[in-house]
Each structure stands twice: as structure tokens, then as C-alpha cells.
């Protein structure tokens, strides 16, 4: 090493490199992006429906009177068409959209609700409830959430903060590059009505699994198979971080934080909330924190379905027959709630 | 553990640095053992159940090397026997773990016998650490390695920056550094230089290699599924793969060199802009240099020497002598080099092709040398090499490299042949629409950017040339200067460039941390 370099206060040089790298990362989070392109980051994944949902909210002029926001259980267990039909029979002609995406995590649902409220005036938002509220965020949150929402997540100290914050500069760089050189990153600047119309959106009859295979949702396994599946998935029953309880109260609070945000936004606009409880097979568990949800909206409790093997496609999801039963029940509730 | 992972960058590396320099205050052996234990932890992170193989290899080679060092002169025969036993053990382990399945599968296919081929998991980095130990034992027997303590050897054999994929190091270039008084003393100059080299390597790996892989892999899979590669896709696949593996492995090597430097150790170079070479021989001098060095010293030279003696004894001259003394050892050396990469017919073809390339290249050189001599004898001027010839040399070299590398990538011989046929127009000239959709603007832009960097920018050690970036850099300092020059100094703009490389390198891990291609060997 040349002696000249020693004069440069080498320690400060190392610190400079590290601090500058961190500053660049923080700076990158403030790069502008296009929300439509954010949702396109889900293309080619099992969450690809996210783009269609965005397009339905922003590019389709039809209203959305009832929005169903949930996970795979609501994606497969509630049919928007069936609900519309049942409501029409009751004299309520409304547009129902199922905006559910595979996997748990209330934070992405909050992002969908925010986008929804930018362009539409729904009358009811249907939210999924499971036997155990999911303590963490959704996999898609880091892709679709605006930077401000990821900073908000960090301010709450939630479980996924670290990975979402780490991802944010990369995502913003990617979106910024897409903005600078359109077409380079494989995202579309403009809405394509043909692609939109061709996107599958109702999965109660058949849906594509992670391997890209179409699954016939009318199929019903034997009761023994369902029970076996339920036992195999017992470990997923109550997930939480391996942290002391008082820390967990902060880190594992996604459900509480985001359901409150959704509720507040809905209340401000006079939108009603309907919580639909979706049981897993063989788990007639009571709804956790029922009183809290009841204070925010109506509850459609379907615990009684948890033992009806003919309604399940697998231990966690309804089959087509189950979806019809659930949808009809929801339609009855909605008929009471809709003006 | 991957160098391009958050757990390594944000946890392992800072803890190892603090532990190493902290323990140096207690004493140098303490620091060395701290680093050895950290290195073993680094290795065990991947698959703890296989760490015993590395531990046994360290222990047995130390015992063998120690005996040879102590008794080389007093008991030469026994020392030689110990050397042979040590080498047999090392090579036997390599053969068992790497080639048993391949051999048994072929025996089964040829004989029609009905038996189950056992699944043998290849221990991580075995090809690298075995070669390092072989070199050590041979150096002991040659008297080049002396008085090595177990503390020194354990660290030498497990030092994590070079443990899994090289550079393959020699005793004589590493152990003296451990013995230096300043070893283990925190020098911020090493930190700045090491961090800068590491950042450049990380950038090459995550921004270029992994990005190219994200386009290349689906295209290659689709090509393998359709079984028909057109000429355009064939060349694109070959170029993309060569670029991916170059940025991947040279990036890994930079990271290894940078990390070692942070601990005050200089490693040897592994790449010196090989894709700017004007001949296949030159290419192999600059690609995976530490392996070439090993092969040259421990395979080529021991083979070439007796063959030269044989040629002299038999009075073989002209092309016959040339074939025996140059072509034969070159071909065998490069064949072995191909097979070293893995057990499979693709690697055999890769070795044969490179053996043939180098042999032809040697013959071409000899032909030109003779022509020059003839002209000089006749008193005629020797024409200098014109630009078209130079360009032709570069293009032919690249075409050979791209073609050979497809057999190196191929999961089966059929896959390699499929791309080969496509590249050389044997599948016709019509484009395969099933592959056209993979030729995206982003892919082409990435390859163009990579091509420009490879062609015009100085390599990492040329950028860092003021700070002796590698132990053997002096040998390469004046070789292969880049058309554009950039010499790094710790000025604010240059520190900022490093920060950008570090930031981009870390951020692009988010795309998904890919393992290094050479981890498979």
C-alpha cells in the first residue's frame, strides 16, 4: 500500500463506502414508480391475478359494489357470479368482484382496498376470516405496496419489515428502469383490454395450481383423505415468531394493524364490512377475537360446514359445491346489508 | 453459505472479522484458530453432515505432509511411500465421490447388469480442496513446504474465501503470509482494498451473472424441451452461457480475493480477461488460472518431460517429434481438465474439444514459427500481423470457446449436441418460433452491456493495480491491457463507485441468490 494512502484516513474510507451504499439504498426507495407496473411484478407468479384486480379497479368502467378481499379460501370458496345471481333473485342488481389472492396476509388486502377506494365506491367489503389469524404479511406486499406503506410497516416494527425494506430499493430501481426504458423490464405501460378479458378470474370450478396445472374443483376426496390432510397440516395451525411474547405482540400484529386500517378507511366512506369465516375441514374452532370483528362489521360464521366432507376439495378449501353453499350464504347476508 | 447472501454479508463476515482481529490481541495462534473455526462453520453451513470429509482430509494430509517434511532426506523411500499413499487417498476420495456414479451407470448400461447405482452426494468444493492438498503433499516431497505447523495447515486448508471454489492456492504463497508479523493486525488499507474488490465481484455476480441466468435458463430449458435449436438461438445461448459463467466465476474469484484481503491475505489471480484472448492457448492461460497452474505443474510438466526424453532418444524430429512432445501432453492435459469439471459425457467432449483446440493452436503456432524462420533464413522481411488477422484470431478463439462451453453446460451429451447443431447451421437456418419469445430486449441489452465491459474495460486487478491486488499480480501486471484505462485510487468519486457496486450487488441479491456455477464441481 502506498504511503500516500495512509494519509487518507483509511478507516473513514471504509465508513464512507458503507454509509454511501446505505444512503444509496435509502435514496432508491424514493424513486418514483407507476402503481400499475408494481402490480405487473406479480405476472408469471401464482399471484398473477393481482394485475387483473388492478385493471378491474382502474381500467374497467363498471362499478364495484361488493369487493371480496381474501386468500385462497375465498378465491376458491366464493363465486362472484353466484353471489350476483343470488342477489339479483332478491332484487339487488350489483357488481361483485372477488379480489382474493392465494396465501394469507392482511397487509396486501389493505393495499387492494386502498386502490379500490381510489376509483370505486363499494357498498360492502367482504373480508375473509380463518380459524387462526395470520400473524405476518403477504408475499405480494413487497411488490405491490407503495414505498410509503413499506415505511409504515417498518414504523410498526412488523415481522416482515426487514425483508420488505431490503427489497424496496431493488424494486424501485427495477420500476425506475422500466420507466426509463419502456419494454426493457417486461412491464406494460398501457392497459391491454384483450389480455384483461382473457385473464381467468373465477376459480370455483377450476383453478391453476403452483405447477401450472388446471385443477377440477368439483372433485371431492374421501373423508379419510381429508382427515389425513388435516393431520398433516396441523403444524400450520398456529404460526408465530420464535420471540418472547411481549416482542411478538409487536412483530406478529399484521392482522390487528391492517384490519384496523381497512376498517377506518371503510368507516370514513360509509362502507360496510362483512367478515366471512371459512373453516378448515375437521377444525370447528371458534372465531378468535370475535368481539373485535363484530365491532367492525357483520360476521358470516360458517363453522358448521367444517365437518361436511362433501363440500371440501382439500382440507383447507371448499370444492365447487362448497363454494355454492358459501356464496349463497354470503348473498343472503349481503342482501340484508346492501341498500 | 453463499458470498452473495445476506447471512454472509451482514452476519458471518462482520462476526468473523471482529473475532479474528479481536483474538489477534490475545495472540496470533488464537486469531488463526478463530478464523479456522469460522471457516469450518462457513463450510458446515451448507451441509453439516459432510464436514467430516473436510476434517479428515485436513488431518490425514497434515500427518502425511508432516512426515514427509520431517523425513524427506533421512528416509526418502518411506517418505515417497507416504506421498504415494497420501496422493492415492486424495485422488481416491475424489474419484469415489465424483466419478463412482458415472462409472457405475455406464457399466450398467454397457453390461446390461441389474443393480442399483448408489446416490453419492458430492461434497462441496471437494475438487478444489483435494487439488490444494495434492499440491501441498507434492510441495512437501520437493522440499518446498517446510516446518508447517498444524495451526498453519488447518487455516491454509480451510481458509473460507478460497475453500469452496478456489483460487487453488499453494503452500508457498499463503503460509509465508501467515508467518508474517503483521498477519492478523488490522490494517484499514486492506479493508478498503478488500471491500472494493469484494464489491466489484459481488456486482459482477448478482447484477450480471444472475441477471443473464434469469433469461438464459428458461431459454435453455425451452431449447432442451423442443430439441431443435436454430442458428440464432444457438449462438445466443452459447454467448449467454459463456458470459454467465465468466461473470459468475470471475465475480466469485474477485469476492474471494477481496475477502481474503480483508483478513490480510493475498490470494492468487484466477481470471485475467480471458475473453479478450487471441488464441485458445492464451484463453486457457487466463481462465481459471489457478487450475491451469496446477494442471501445468502437476500433470503437464511431469508428462512432457519423459516424452521429450523419449523423443530425443528416438531421434524424433519435425511433426512427429512435435506430436509426441507437445500435442500428446497438451491433449491429455486438457482432456483431464474437462473431466475434472464433472462426471458426464458432456465433460468428456468438453475435454476432448479443448484438447483438440489447444493441439491445433500449438500446431498453428509451430507452423507460423517455422514460416518466420524460413523467411528470416531467406533474408525476407517477416510480415507483421495485420488487423484483419488479429480480429480473425479473436473471433475464431471466441467461436471455439462458445462451442466448447455448451458441452460444459449440457446436462446430457444430447443437449450439448443439440446446441452445437443449432450453432453451426445443422438444423437449417429457419428460426424456431418457440425460442424467439425468449429473445427479449432486456436480454439483448444485458449481453450487449456485458460484451462492452468484457471488451473495453480493465479487469478488477487492473483497476486495483496500485494496491497489489493478488499475490502473483506482478506476473500479469503488463499483460492484456484493456482499451480503456481506469486506475482506482481512494478518491471520493472512486469510493462512490465502490459504494454503488456494493449497493447494487447487495440489492440484486433480492432477485434470488443463485449458487455459483463452480460450486457444482
- Mean pLDDT, range B26-55, rounded to an integer: 93
Average pLDDT over chain B, rounded to whole? 91
> How far apart, in whole angstroms, are the C-alpha atoms of residue B254 and residue B460?
7
Tell me the C-alpha distance between A320 and A204, whole Å: 5
Chain A residues in contact with B511 (beta carbon < 8 A) = 170
For A106-143, the pLDDT digits (tens) are 999 999 999 999 999 999 999 999 877 888 999 999 99
Comparing B517 with B187, the larger pLDDT belongs to B187
Sort out which chain B residues have CB atoms less than 8 A from A20's CB and list them: 495-496, 499-500, 503
For residue A313, the 8-state DSSP code is E
3-state secondary structure A61-123: CCCCCEEEECCHHHHHHCCHHHHHHHHHHCCCCCCEEECCCCCCCHHHHHHHHHHHHHHCCCC
SS3 label, residue B160: helix
pLDDT of residue B58: 95
- Gap from A163 CA to chain B (nearest CA, Å): 9
- DSSP conformational letter for A145: S
**Does B442 sit within 8 Å of A170, measured CB to CB?**
no
* C-beta atoms of A13 and B495 within 8 A: yes
CB contact under 8 A, B188 and A167: no
pLDDT tens figures, B469-490 = 999 999 999 898 899 989 999 8
Q: Across the A/B interface, how many CB contacts are shorter than 8 Å?
A: 81
Residues of B in contact with A185 (CB under 8 A): 442
Residues B366-378, buried b or exposed e (16+ Cβ, 10 A)?
Answer: eeeeeeeeeeeee
Q: Please tell me if residue A177 touches chain B, with a CB cutoff of 8 Å.
A: no
CB A75 within 8 A of CB A100: yes
**Cα separation of B402 and B398, whole Å?**
6
Q: Which of A17, A24, A112 is nearest to A64 (CA)?
A: A112
What does the pLDDT read at residue A6?
62
Indicate whether B519 pLDDT > 80: no
Is A183 in the B-facing interface, judged by CB distances under 8 Å? yes
CB-based contact, A2 to chain B, within 8 Å: yes
DSSP character for B48? G
Alpha helices by DSSP H, listed for A139-243, are 141-144, 147-156, 161-180, 193-198, 223-232
CA distance A87 to B255: 64
CA distances to B270, B449, B468 from B482, rounded to whole Å, are 17, 16, 18
* Alpha-carbon span B297 to B280, nearest angstrom: 19
A163 at B interface, C-beta within 8 A: no
Distance of CA A157 to the CA centre of its chain: 20
The verdict on a CB contact (< 8 Å) between B188 and A17 is no
- CA-based nearest distance B212→chain A, Å: 13
Q: Write the DSSP symbol of residue A308.
A: -
- Could A24 and B467 be called an inter-chain contact, meaning their C-beta atoms sit closer than 8 Å? no
Please give the pLDDT value at position B441: 84
Distance CA B190, CA B468 (A): 11
C-alpha A232/C-alpha B323 separation (Å) is 67
Task: Label residue B135 by pLDDT band (50, 70, 90).
Answer: very high
Residue of A25, A171, A183 with shortest CB distance to B503:
A25
Mean pLDDT to the nearest integer, B494-504: 95
Closest Cα in chain B to A10: B188
Could you tell me the CA-to-CA distances from B286 to B162, B249, B274, B416 in Å, in that order?
Answer: 18, 13, 5, 24
CB contact under 8 A, A17 and B441: no
Chain B residues with CB-CB distance to A21 below 8 A: 499-500, 502-503, 506
A60 Cα to chain B: minimum distance (Å)? 29
Mutation site, A10, A13, A181, interface B, largest B CB count within 10 A: A13
Judging by beta carbons within 10 Å of its beta carbon (0-12, 13-18, 19+), is residue B257 exposed, middle or buried?
buried
A184 in contact with chain B, both atoms CB, cutoff 8 A: yes
Reference A202, options A304, A56, A310; nearest CA is A56
Element (H, E) at A339: none
DSSP B153: H
Find the closest chain A residue to B438 by CA distance: A186
Residues B195, A17: C-beta atoms closer than 8 Å = yes
Active site residues of B: 341
List the single best residue of A3, A21, A26 to mutate versus B (max B Cβ within 10 A). A21
Residue A286's pLDDT is what? 82
Tell which residue, A41, A316, A4, has the closest CA to residue A174: A41
Q: Which residues in chain B are closer than 8 Å to A2, comparing Cβ atoms? A: 466-467
Residue A186 contacts B, CB cutoff 8 Å:
yes
Closest to B175 (Cα-Cα) out of B144, B209, B198: B144
Distance CA B234, CA B418 (A): 9
Full pLDDT tens readout for chain A, 339 residues: 454 556 557 888 999 999 999 999 999 999 998 899 999 999 888 898 899 999 999 999 999 999 999 998 999 999 999 999 999 999 999 999 999 998 889 999 999 999 999 999 999 999 999 877 888 999 999 999 999 999 999 888 998 998 899 899 999 998 998 888 877 777 888 898 998 888 877 888 888 777 778 888 888 889 999 998 888 887 666 677 788 888 888 888 899 999 999 999 999 999 999 999 988 888 877 888 899 999 999 999 999 998 999 999 998 899 999 999 999 999 999 999 998
Kindly list the residues from chain B whose CB atom is less than 8 angstroms away from the CB atom of residue A22. Answer: 503
Separation CA B168–CA B472 (nearest Å): 13
Upstream peptide bond of B124 is cis (omega within 30 degrees of 0): no
Q: How far apart are CA A58 and CA A118, in angstroms?
A: 8
Is residue B270 very low, low, confident or very high in pLDDT (cuts 50, 70, 90)?
very high
Predicted ipTM beyond 0.85: no
Number of residues that make up chain A: 339
Mutate to test the interface with A, among B188, B215, B262 (most CBs of A within 10 A): B188
Enumerate the residues of chain A whose CB falls inside 8 A of the CB of residue B198. Answer: none
Whether residue A24 and residue B503 make contact (CB cut-off 8 A), yes or no, is yes
Chain B contact set for A186 (CB, 8 A): 440, 442
Nearest to B188 among A11, A24, A28 (CB): A11
Using CA coordinates, name the residue in chain B closest to A2. Answer: B467
Q: Which residues contact A288 (CB under 8 A, 6 or more apart)?
A: A131, A132, A133
B285: distance to nearest CA of chain A, Å?
28
Q: Mind telling me how many Å the CA of B470 is from chain A's nearest CA? A: 12
Q: How far is CA A185 from CA A179, A181, B228, B433, B435, in A?
A: 9, 8, 27, 21, 19
Test A21 with B440 for CB contact under 8 angstroms: no
The nearest CA of chain A is from the CA of B5 a distance in Å of 12
The model scores a pTM over 0.80:
yes
CA B34 to chain centre: 28
Chain segment B79-134, per-residue pLDDT in tens: 999 999 999 999 999 999 988 988 898 888 888 888 888 888 888 888 889 999 99
**Of B499, B3, B453, the residue nearest B247 (C-alpha):** B453
**Separate counts of helices (H) and strands (E) for chain B:** 25, 0
pLDDT of B292-351, one tens digit each? 999 888 889 989 899 999 998 988 888 888 889 988 999 999 888 888 887 788 888 999
Confidence grade of residue B515 (pLDDT, cut at 50, 70, 90): low
Confidence (pLDDT) at A123 = 96
Amino acid at each position: 500500500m502506498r504511503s500516500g494512502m495512509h494519509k487518507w484516513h483509511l478507516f473513514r474510507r471504509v465508513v464512507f463506502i458503507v454509509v454511501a451504499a446505505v444512503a444509496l439504498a435509502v435514496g432508491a426507495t424514493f424513486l418514483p414508480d407507476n402503481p400499475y407496473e408494481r402490480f405487473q411484478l406479480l405476472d408469471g407468479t401464482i399471484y398473477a391475478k393481482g394485475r387483473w384486480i388492478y385493471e378491474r379497479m382502474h381500467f374497467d368502467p363498471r362499478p364495484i359494489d361488493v369487493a371480496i378481499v381474501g386468500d385462497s379460501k375465498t378465491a376458491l370458496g366464493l363465486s362472484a357470479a353466484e353471489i350476483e345471481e343470488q342477489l339479483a333473485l332478491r332484487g339487488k342488481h350489483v357488481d361483485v368482484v372477488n379480489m382474493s389472492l392465494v396465501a394469507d396476509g392482511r397487509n396486501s388486502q389493505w393495499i387492494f382496498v386502498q386502490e379500490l377506494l381510489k376509483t370505486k365506491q363499494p357498498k360492502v367489503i367482504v373480508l375473509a376470516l380463518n380459524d387462526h389469524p395470520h400473524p405476518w404479511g403477504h408475499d405480494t406486499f413487497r411488490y405491490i405496496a407503495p414505498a410509503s406503506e413499506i415505511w409504515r410497516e417498518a414504523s410498526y416494527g412488523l415481522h416482515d419489515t426487514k425483508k420488505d425494506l431490503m427489497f424496496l430499493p431493488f424494486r424501485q430501481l427495477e420500476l425506475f428502469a422500466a420507466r426509463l426504458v419502456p419494454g426493457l423490464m417486461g412491464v406494460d405501460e398501457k392497459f391491454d383490454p384483450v389480455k384483461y378479458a382473457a385473464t381467468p378470474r373465477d376459480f370455483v370450478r377450476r383453478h391453476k395450481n403452483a405447477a401450472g396445472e388446471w385443477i377440477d374443483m368439483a372433485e371431492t376426496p374421501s373423508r379419510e383423505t381429508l382427515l389425513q390432510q388435516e393431520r398433516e397440516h396441523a403444524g400450520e395451525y398456529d404460526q408465530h415468531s420464535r420471540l418472547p411474547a411481549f416482542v411478538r405482540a409487536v412483530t406478529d400484529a399484521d392482522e390487528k394493524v391492517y384490519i384496523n386500517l381497512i376498517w377506518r378507511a371503510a368507516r370514513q366512506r360509509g362502507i360496510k364490512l362483512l367478515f366471512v369465516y371459512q373453516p378448515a375441514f375437521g377444525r370447528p374452532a371458534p372465531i378468535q377475537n370475535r368481539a373485535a370483528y363484530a365491532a367492525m362489521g357483520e360476521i358470516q360464521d360458517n363453522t358448521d360446514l367444517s365437518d361436511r366432507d362433501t363440500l371440501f376439495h382439500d382440507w383447507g378449501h371448499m370444492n365447487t359445491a362448497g363454494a355454492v353453499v358459501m356464496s349463497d350464504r354470503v348473498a343472503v347476508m349481503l342482501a340484508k346489508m346492501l341498500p | 453459505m453463499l458470498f452473495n447472501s445476506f447471512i454472509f454479508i451482514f452476519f458471518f463476515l462482520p462476526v468473523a472479522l471482529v473475532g479474528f482481529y479481536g483474538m489477534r490481541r490475545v495472540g496470533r495462534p488464537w486469531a488463526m484458530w478463530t478464523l479456522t473455526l469460522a471457516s469450518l462453520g462457513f463450510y458446515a453451513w451448507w451441509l453439516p453432515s459432510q464436514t467430516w470429509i473436510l476434517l479428515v482430509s485436513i488431518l490425514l494430509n497434515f500427518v502425511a505432509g508432516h512426515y514427509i517434511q520431517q523425513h524427506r532426506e533421512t528416509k526418502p523411500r518411506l517418505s515417497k511411500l507416504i506421498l504415494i499413499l497420501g496422493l492415492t487417498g486424495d485422488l481416491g476420495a475424489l474419484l469415489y465421490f465424483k466419478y463412482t456414479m458415472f462409472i457405475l451407470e455406464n457399466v450398467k448400461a454397457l453390461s446390461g447388469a441389474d443393480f442399483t447405482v448408489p446416490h453419492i452426494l458430492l461434497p462441496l468444493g471437494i475438487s478444489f480442496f483435494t487439488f490444494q492438498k495434492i499440491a501441498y503433499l507434492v510441495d512437501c516431497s520437493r522440499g518446498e513446504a517446510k516446518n508447517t505447523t498444524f495451526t498453519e495447515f488447518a487455516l491454509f486448508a480451510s481458509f473460507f474465501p478460497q475453500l469452496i471454489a478456489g483460487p487453488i492456492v499453494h503452500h508457498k504463497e499463503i503460509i509465508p503470509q501467515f508467518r508474517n508479523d503483521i498477519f492478523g493486525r488490522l490494517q484499514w488499507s486492506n479493508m478498503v482494498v478488500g471491500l472494493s474488490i469484494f464489491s466489484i465481484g459481488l456486482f459482477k455476480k448478482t447484477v450480471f451473472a444472475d441477471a443473464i441466468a434469469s433469461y438464459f435458463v428458461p431459454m435453455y430449458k425451452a431449447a432442451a424441451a423442443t430439441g431443435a435449436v436454430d442458428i440464432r438461438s444457438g449462438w445466443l445461448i452459447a454467448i449467454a452461457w459463456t458470459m454467465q459463467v465468466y461473470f459468475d466465476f470471475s465475480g466469485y474469484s474477485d469476492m474471494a480475493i477481496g475477502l481474503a484481503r480483508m483478513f490480510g491475505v493475498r490470494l492468487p489471480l484466477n481470471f485475467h480477461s480471458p475473453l479478450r484472448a487471441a488464441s485458445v492457448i492464451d484463453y486457457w492461460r487466463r481462465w481459471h488460472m489457478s487450475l491451469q497452474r496446477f494442471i501445468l505443474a502437476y500433470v503437464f510438466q511431469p508428462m512432457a518431460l519423459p516424452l521429450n526424453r523419449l523423443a530425443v532418444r528416438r531421434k524424433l524430429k519435425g511433426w512427429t517429434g512435435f506430436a509426441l512432445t507437445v500435442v500428446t501432453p497438451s491433449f491429455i492435459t486438457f482432456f483431464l481438465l474437462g473431466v475434472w469439471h464433472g462426471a458426464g459425457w458432456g465433460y468428456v467432449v468438453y475435454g476432448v474439444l479443448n484438447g483438440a483446440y489447444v493441439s491445433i493452436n500449438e500446431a498453428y503456432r509451430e507452423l507460423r514459427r517455422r514460416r518466420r524462420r524460413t523467411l528470416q533464413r531467406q533474408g525476407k522481411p517477416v510480415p507483421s500481423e495485420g488487423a484483419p488477422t488479429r480480429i480473425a484470431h479473436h473471433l475464431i478463439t471466441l467461436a471455439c470457446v462458445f462451442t466448447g462451453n455448451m458441452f460444459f453446460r449440457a446436462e446430457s451429451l444430447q443437449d450439448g449436441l443439440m446446441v452445437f447443431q443449432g450453432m453451426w447451421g445443422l438444423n437449417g437456418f429457419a428460426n424456431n418460433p418457440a425460442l424467439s419469445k425468449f429473445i427479449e430486449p432486456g436480454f439483448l441489452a444485458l449481453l450487449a452491456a456485458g460484451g462492452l465491459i468484457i471488451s473495453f474495460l480493465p479487469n478488477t486487478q487492473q483497476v486495483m493495480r496500485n494496491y497489489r491486488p493478488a499475490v502473483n499480480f506482478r506476473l500479469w501486471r503488463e499483460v492484456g491491457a484493456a482499451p480503456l484505462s481506469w486506475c482506482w485510487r481512494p478518491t471520493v468519486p472512486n469510493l462512490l463507485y465502490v459504494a454503488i457496486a456494493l449497493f447494487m450487488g447487495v440489492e440484486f441479491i433480492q432477485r434470488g441468490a443463485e449458487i455459483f456455477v463452480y460450486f457444482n464441481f
